[in-house]
Amino acid sequence: MDEAPHNLSVRFYAGKLEIVSSETPGGKKFYILNLPYFLCSQLERYLNWFMNEIKEYDR
């Protein structure tokens, strides 16, 4: 994430849908979209939702 030109990441896992903020050891703040496995086929839709939600978080 420190070298990425953006501050977004996606994790596919068995938990619930959620957005969390985190920070790399290098100090870069970023957001993680935790996306349940069963929603993987809807990734594009949730990426759009994720980016809109992040705009609200940053206000």
Instruction: Please tell me what DSSP assigns to residue 55.
Output: H
Parse the chain into domains and list their residue ranges: 8-57
How many angstroms separate the Cα of 9 from the Cα of each of 1, 6, 21, 22? 8, 9, 10, 10
Sign of the torsion angle spanned by Cα atoms 9, 13, 18, 21: negative
Which pLDDT tens digit goes with each residue over 2-44?
999 999 999 999 999 999 999 999 999 999 999 999 999 999 9
Under 8 Å between Cβ of 23 and 1: no
Q: What is the pTM of this model?
A: 0.87
CB atoms within 10 A of CB 36: 14
Q: Which residue has the tokens 């870069």?
A: 28
